[in-house]
Structure 1
Amino acid sequence: MTQHQVKAFSGGLESASSVASSGILTSLWNLISNLYAEAQSSTQNLFWKIVSNESGLTAITFWTTQNHDQPDLLPFSNTDDNPFKFICSKTNPNFSLNHSAFSLFNQYRTQLDQLKSETDLKKPVIVTGHGVGGSIASLFTLLLLEKMNPASDKRPLCITFGSPLIGDGNFQKAIWQSSNWNSCFLHVASLLDPLVSSSISNNSYSPFGIFLLCSGYGSSCFESLVSVRKLLNLTSQLNNQGLQQNCHYGSIVENLHRKAICKDFDGPNIPRSNLLQESLALQLCALGFPQLLQLQETDLKNLVEELDNELLKPKKRFNPGKKLNDMKEKMANLEWYKKDSKKKGIGYYDMFKGQTSAPDIVVTEFIRQLNGYWEDMVEEAEKQPQKEGAAFRTRWLYAGTNYRRMVEPLYIAGYYKDGKRDYINNGRTEHYKQLEKWLKEDKKSHSIGRTNNVESILTLDSCFWAHVEEALFSCQDLKTTGSSEAKKLEAINSLDEFEKYVYGSLKDYAVSPEIFLEGSSFMRWWREYIGIKGASHDTEFANFMKNPTNYKKYMEGAYNFL
């Protein structure tokens, strides 16, 4: 096998066997059966029961008299009176739910909100239901996920039996985008259950979670939603043949438990080198697809190849931790570059803007790679459901802030090196803006970047050097003979504002002392500015700048600002 070859394998048979042999499906179905028996004397449409065992596990079981649903979809957005608006994101603001299932849920919304508030997620929780009751179980599990504190709570697990699909592609995308959420749903579905395949005939519906598909022949787990959709589509052929009927999941789970030990299945003749196709073929044979659909070996091979091709299609799913160590190494190299520029008395902003040495070219590549990584990171956070996205941002906030403060000044240097103006309005990329916005929104943002060691700090405002460059342009406008009076007045006002901005940043010890290096653009601006204002210019900032000994005191954190 060469370096670039990957042997893929699908462990659906093993996963199904593990779930079936655990006995959990049998236990949950017994709870559903007991609830059904208790509900027969009631006139309500929806019932639920909470059962806890000695180990602290809580099971919440749903049952409804509504044993079918209409295929109509009800659209929602993050602005509606929508209990699930928290799954919306900036890039996925709308989704649709099955009208019947949501109407039933909404009918009992007050009681379900109360149940949500009473559910203790410090202990393990399983939510279950059959048919449309399974749909309600899925929706209620989403409420628990919205309530959950990722730092201290346990994720709830939802296991449904014969539940129809409940949402469209955007609903699927919202849940799939959070890998933590998608793994919270396990759907047990018989190939012969007409309720399961009813919604798949509407192409607007999409599956989510993990599916344990089963038949009288056996079972297998499928995590690929492409595979699930394809296989559920095929089950509609069974309905056309009159093979589908109301299924008794009690008998199904008992049969699964009995067959939990994997047996050999006769599959098509597939080369052993293709482990993914071979394992897919075994899964289909275990489910009895060749017998149920009367597939010849060639037909089965074609189906396997079709599933194989879909599974191996490139799918862009950003893994934030995958390249993190590489990014840390590049940040460390920039730290070295920063220290080297300081020794040369110029500062890393101006050294990079000058681009006179081989290290500058290497740094350009570091910037490109770091920007690409964090652009993907911000895009990923924007895709996440609201709460998950907030948790995602908090988890990576420190690293993102450090990156922005280190790298954006170099990006600004390249911008002005090309002769451009007004970086903040015309050149700043969205991911820099978002990283800064998230920092301001975070309650602990004041602590990020603060240190008693002033000499080592990064300037907190990553756009500081853009302000310096614009201040240099304002000085130029004042000195240019042809500048209009209006332009000169604008330049004077701009310089007054910049002086206040710099002094305020100095008072907060929010600026790196390397701005005082003789070769820096900031010191060039100061010399031009005081030349324009004159030696008599008497402000707190001017008095600070006129005395170079103040720079050393600032570096030591010892200057006493009034």
Structure 2
Amino acid sequence: MIPLHKPNGSKKLSNGILDFANMAVCSGLLVTAYDAIPEVSSRTQNVSSVSYKDYGGESGSGPRIIAFVSCEGRGDSDCNNDDHALVDSGYERFPLFVLLNTKVNPVVSISRAAVQLFASVFDELSLLKDQIDINRPLIITGRALGGSVASLFTLWLLDTIYLKTAKTPLCLTFGSPLLGDNALQQAISERPTWISCFLHVISNQDPVLRYLAKGHMPFGAALFISESGCACFEDPQSILELIKATSLGELEDSQIIDYGSMLKKLRYNAICQGRKEEVDTCDISDPVQCGITLQLLAIGAIEPENSETSPLIPRIRRNLEIFQRGKKNNFDQTKKLNEVKIYMAYMGWYKKLSKNQGGYYDCYKTAESKSIKEGKTKEEIVRHQRILNQYWKHMVKEIDRMPKREGAINIRPRLLYAGTNYRRMVEPLDIAVYYRQGKKDYINKGRSQHYKLLEEWEKGSSKPAERHKVSSTTEDSCFWAHVEEALIACRYLTEENDSSSEVKESWHQNLLEFEAYVMDLIRMHTLSPETFQEGSSFLQWWKDYKKLKGIGYESELTNFMNNQKVGNDLLVFDEYKELS
């Protein structure tokens, strides 16, 4: 398969995509894909139908090819702008692609003609989809409107049978009209594995501009080809610029571009260096501009005599630089995860250091230990906490905005595991700061949305194996918020106030629920031993609670705290203290 990813960095910006263009042409894969597209007679085929052919079946060692065609042999003028008007997700034949709608782009629009053609062969494609082996390379290709159907079929496969595999199909289209709007482009781009599956081949002689309607936007990589060379771009704005600059041919209605012949000719040309006169016009001291210039010259978008003054070159360069900056900052689930682990390791070190200084939570809340009260260490802890929060807030926001089915979890297991550890380690520190500032009701009024989503995703994942030992961190990252509210309740009930009996009864009920909640954590071994460190907020609550309830009060928790077994395989208080 052809890799569709290009090098990053400004110096490699144009050179990388120029090298990729040559590799794509010279590999022979494009020729193979185009030759697989079936021929359709103009006497038997009309604009409202599509034909496809499956090459390879279930046998064979090479890649399987599924090829589509439409409007072939009739001339592209039969496909007018009205045919390619955009329809949004409310269109009756659109429901297969509802997944493309995102929180950022609630409405995605696709060419009416493409949706109708796809729907016309949907039953057959459903049977074909069931026969696809995801472990075998798959190429999906198409010419003209058949390319649009090929793109929709590829999106359908990515959304259904390629959900949990690193292997993906490769979609190669030839002279295909633009499929959808800017929302479609953004929705696909939000899935890095999806956007890398598409390569659209466009001839400089193909009147693609006739297909364009207001609001269309390309997605994936575009390979522009001419008799003398090729150029490859993945920036949507640059692709639009070049479609307008190269689609100037005035063809007869019956004339069809022979992409196969053009690709075969290019395959044997030394296009990487370009013609000598082209190289001479290029400023080699600026490799980015030189690479762009060579590509535009190769496809006839500019003339050699205009290479230094053409306004197209700076526009393309500006588009590419903006695109690369966005790509560099774009969502990558694991790009900085190793760096984040360093900050997590530092927080783990601090947790160990605070073990004998009141415990992780209370040490941070009171700032009484030398480890965070003096000098650089306190600043480092706060800085690492801030960096971790910034990273995970951005990460969770990007994951949540990605397209997903109802009830599905988009986050990768490795990232979910890291996010869960972060939540359990760092959220208690946020809680400590919140209550240190004298605030109340953290869970309802102070908790960040990214913590809520991480917890929701963790609960929605496969259940962990049965626990056999006590956690080093409390699994409920809001545990200390519950402790703080219980402390507030005890203080309220022991102070003189004019509250009604109903209000006081409500506070008593909250304390009973908290007591049961603590016992559930103890029973499941999901409560960290630091909870029982001398001087912890929990033990302070326990002292207040015993005083409030009186000496004669008995419960499971009082039995536990008095070192009495209250269930099979249930640790007692002293054993918890030994673990800490």
Q: TM-score by structure 1 length?
A: 0.89
Match of 1:328 in 2: 341
For residues 398-421 of structure 1, the C-alpha deviation after alignment (integer angstroms, 9 at most, x for no partner) is 111010000000011011111111
**Are residues 1:399 and 2:408 paired?**
no
Q: How does 1:313-324 map to 2 (within 5 A)?
A: 313=322, 314-315=325-326, 316-324=329-337
**Are residues 1:512 and 2:528 paired?**
yes
Measure how far apart 1:6 and its partner are.
Answer: 5.5
Match of 1:499 in 2: 515
Distance 1:366 1:464, change over 3 A: same
Contact 1:134 1:162 in 2 (8 A): yes
Identical counterparts, % of pairs: 39
**Are residues 1:36 and 2:39 paired?**
yes
Q: Which moved more, 1:375-384 or 1:504-513?
A: 375-384
SS in 2 for 1:459: coil
Match of 1:86 in 2: 99
Match of 2:125 in 1: 112
**Are residues 1:144 and 2:144 paired?**
no
Structure 1: 5+ residue stretches without partners: 558-562
Contact 1:355 1:361 in 2 (8 A): no
Match of 1:63 in 2: 69
The code of the aligned residue for 1:180 comes to T
Contact 1:91 1:382 in 2 (8 A): no
**Are residues 1:474 and 2:485 paired?**
no
Contact 1:408 1:463 in 2 (8 A): yes
Measure how far apart 1:273 and its partner are.
Answer: 3.4
For residues 157-189 of structure 1, the C-alpha deviation after alignment (integer angstroms, 9 at most, x for no partner) is 111110000111111111111121111111111
Following the alignment from structure 2 to structure 1, what is the Cα–Cα distance between the partners of residues 182 and 90? 14
Following the alignment from structure 1 to structure 2, what is the Cα–Cα distance between the partners of residues 332 and 113? 49
For residues 247-271 of structure 1, the C-alpha deviation after alignment (integer angstroms, 9 at most, x for no partner) is 2223322322232553433158554
The code of the aligned residue for 1:523 comes to L
2:272 maps to which of 242, 245, 262 = 262
The code of the aligned residue for 2:18 comes to L
Distance 1:80 1:514, change over 3 A: farther
For residues 107-131 of structure 1, the C-alpha deviation after alignment (integer angstroms, 9 at most, x for no partner) is 2222222211121121001011100
Q: How does 1:539-550 map to 2 (within 5 A)?
A: 539-547=555-563, 550=572
**Are residues 1:349 and 2:361 paired?**
yes
For residues 288-307 of structure 1, the C-alpha deviation after alignment (integer angstroms, 9 at most, x for no partner) is 2224xx9723432x322222
Distance 1:208 1:42, change over 3 A: closer
Structure 2: 5+ residue stretches without partners: 1-8, 565-570
SS in 1 for 2:353: helix
Contact 1:49 1:60 in 2 (8 A): yes
Q: How does 1:114-133 map to 2 (within 5 A)?
A: 114-133=127-146
Distance 1:6 1:106, change over 3 A: closer
Measure how far apart 1:38 and its partner are.
Answer: 7.8
**Are residues 1:385 and 2:403 paired?**
yes
Contact 1:21 1:260 in 2 (8 A): no
Distance 1:373 1:279, change over 3 A: same
**Are residues 1:459 and 2:477 paired?**
no
**Are residues 1:223 and 2:225 paired?**
no
SS in 2 for 1:386: coil
SS in 2 for 1:60: strand
**Are residues 1:337 and 2:350 paired?**
yes
Following the alignment from structure 1 to structure 2, what is the Cα–Cα distance between the partners of residues 73 and 214? 27
Contact 1:77 1:88 in 2 (8 A): no
**Are residues 1:373 and 2:391 paired?**
yes
Following the alignment from structure 1 to structure 2, what is the Cα–Cα distance between the partners of residues 511 and 94? 45
For residues 399-446 of structure 1, the C-alpha deviation after alignment (integer angstroms, 9 at most, x for no partner) is 1101000000001101111111111111111110000000111123x3
The code of the aligned residue for 1:468 comes to V
The code of the aligned residue for 1:50 comes to D
Contact 2:174 2:202 in 1 (8 A): yes
Measure how far apart 1:150 and its partner are.
Answer: 5.6
The code of the aligned residue for 2:450 comes to H
2:52 maps to which of 41, 48, 52 = 48
For residues 218-248 of structure 1, the C-alpha deviation after alignment (integer angstroms, 9 at most, x for no partner) is 2111122221122123335x26899997422
Contact 1:191 1:213 in 2 (8 A): yes
Following the alignment from structure 2 to structure 1, what is the Cα–Cα distance between the partners of residues 152 and 182? 16
Following the alignment from structure 1 to structure 2, what is the Cα–Cα distance between the partners of residues 22 and 387? 37
Structure number having the greater helix percentage = 1
Match of 2:546 in 1: 530
Match of 1:214 in 2: 225
2:320 maps to which of 311, 314, 325 = 311
Measure how far apart 1:545 and its partner are.
Answer: 1.8
Distance 1:333 1:77, change over 3 A: farther
Q: TM-score by structure 2 length?
A: 0.86
Measure how far apart 1:535 and its partner are.
Answer: 1.1
CA RMSD across the alignment: 2.9
Following the alignment from structure 2 to structure 1, what is the Cα–Cα distance between the partners of residues 426 and 287? 44
Distance 1:65 1:280, change over 3 A: closer
SS in 2 for 1:404: helix
Following the alignment from structure 2 to structure 1, what is the Cα–Cα distance between the partners of residues 331 and 186? 14
Contact 1:199 1:205 in 2 (8 A): no
For residues 48-67 of structure 1, the C-alpha deviation after alignment (integer angstroms, 9 at most, x for no partner) is 11111732411001122475
Q: Which moved more, 1:428-437 or 1:217-226?
A: 217-226
SS in 2 for 1:62: strand
Distance 1:308 1:555, change over 3 A: same
1:17 maps to which of 3, 22, 39 = 22
Following the alignment from structure 2 to structure 1, what is the Cα–Cα distance between the partners of residues 26 and 10? 31
Contact 1:193 1:244 in 2 (8 A): no
Following the alignment from structure 1 to structure 2, what is the Cα–Cα distance between the partners of residues 517 and 417? 19
Following the alignment from structure 1 to structure 2, what is the Cα–Cα distance between the partners of residues 170 and 352? 45
Measure how far apart 1:396 and its partner are.
Answer: 1.0
Match of 1:553 in 2: 575
Match of 1:560 in 2: none
Contact 2:33 2:139 in 1 (8 A): no
